[in-house]
Amino acid sequence: MNAQAHPLDVLEDALNAERRALLDHDVEALLLSTQAKLEALRAAERAGASADDAPRVLALSELNHANGALLARRRREVNWALRHLGRLDADALYDANGQAGAKPHSRVNVSA
């Protein structure tokens, strides 16, 4: 990371890396980019934002939200595959706060 780079530039780079990792199904890159994103967020918070930064902060927020939606889609895809392989464990589920051990929701299949 360039010490002279604007914190929002670093955050944008991290969000773009996160998106690429999600699109490429690259778990290792996703973990690295997520860590970089968290570090960039902390740096941006420390630096503060001016009124001129508001549109960019909003755009980065939207990018982060889009990445979150993509991540949720990937999780649904993985859960679907695991369920169809008979490999879905309660211990492998996470709640909305990212804590392990969430209870699986079962669906009742009612056939007429």
Which pLDDT value is given to residue 73?
A: 93
According to DSSP, residue 50 is labeled: -
pTM recorded for the entire structure: 0.70
| Selection from 79, 76, 49, 46 nearest residue 61 by Cα | 49
Length of the chain, please?
112
Residue type, 56: R
User: What is the band of 109 on the pLDDT scale with cuts at 50, 70, 90?
Assistant: low
Q: Distance (Å, rounded) from C-alpha 41 to C-alpha 32?
A: 14
Cα 112 to its chain centre, rounded Å, is 40
Average pLDDT over residues 31-53: 92
Of the ranges 25-29, 47-51, 75-79, which is most confident?
Answer: 25-29
Which pLDDT value is given to residue 110?
A: 54
